[in-house]
Amino acid sequence: METHPKDLTPLEERLGYQFKDKAILIQALTHRSYLNENASFPYPHNERLEFLGDAVLELAVTEHLYKNYANPEGELTTWRSALVNAKTLASISQQLEFEDYLLLSKGEARDKASKARMYILANAIEAIIGAIYMDGGMPAAEKFVQTHVLNHLPYILKHSLYIDPKSRFQETAQELLGITPSYKVLSEEGPDHQKEFTVGVFLDKEMVAVGKGSSKQEAQVSAAEAGLEAKNWANKE
């Protein structure tokens, strides 16, 4: 009883895993919003698989780091965080080109550029991992994680992407310019429960970049990320 509008074979080829039970793959691709508009759809949404996949992913990454690196626990924790965060997982989903296979409401399908879309994509990767685990067991899930997630580790380590953007921007600014960055709130918009902050990051009096976020801290991190790009420090050796 397959009810996905697309042929899933090309997706399975990119994932590197062929599902015995196609229903669990369809469930992994089904966002909660889709069911709001398609009440008769025979499969549940992917949040339970996401819950499972999150744990499987963390275990697979943790075991790999533990077996292959003798670094202290604190360092391994930051490396793991950089591998399994929403930004990394969303980029993996884009590389696998499975966004068009996601079953979303019409509104969610249109909203391609938002932060919410990044989390939908990241959560779907976790749901896919959960689905592979349920269909093929831990070896199949570990193979997927090894191929599509852990392959990002050398790049993350080479470019120190496990260090948060504010720390990276500050360390690089102090090293190259002898300046400690400062942050200033440029505007606040929206009601108290849904505010959006716009923050500028400054080197002395020069505003290097601007970031937005639902909190001052989030906006500062966004500004630091933009600052790293603006200064060509994002991939500094």
Residue 69 has pLDDT above 90, yes or no: yes
Domain membership of residue 178 (yes or no) is yes
Domain membership of residue 196 (yes or no) is yes
Domain membership of residue 176 (yes or no) is yes
DSSP string, 108-171: HHH--SSHHHHHHHHHHHHHHHHHHHHHHHHHHHHHHHHHHTGGGHHHHHHTTTTS-HHHHHHH
> Could you give the CA distance from residue 232 to residue 208 in angstroms, rounded to a whole number?
11
Residue 226 has pLDDT above 60, yes or no: yes
* Domain of residue 191, residue span: 165-230
**Does one domain contain both 25 and 117?**
yes
**Does one domain contain both 117 and 24?**
yes
Q: Write down which residue in 141, 158, 175 finishes a domain.
A: 158
CA dihedral 112, 118, 120, 125 (to 10 degrees): 120
The model's confidence at residue 237, banded by pLDDT at 50, 70 and 90, is: low
Domains identified in the chain, total number: 2
Catalytic residues: 54, 126
The CATH number of the domain holding residue 203 is 3.30.160.20
**Does one domain contain both 50 and 20?**
yes
Q: Write down which residue in 158, 181, 200 finishes a domain.
A: 158
Percent of the chain with pLDDT over 70: 97
User: What is the rounded average pLDDT of the residues 80-101?
Assistant: 92
pLDDT top residue among 136 and 3:
136
pLDDT single digits (tens) 149-173: 999 999 999 888 898 889 989 989 9
Q: Write down which residue in 158, 178, 204 finishes a domain.
A: 158
Residue 12 has pLDDT above 90, yes or no: yes
The one-letter amino acid code at 3 reads T
Domain membership of residue 3 (yes or no) is no
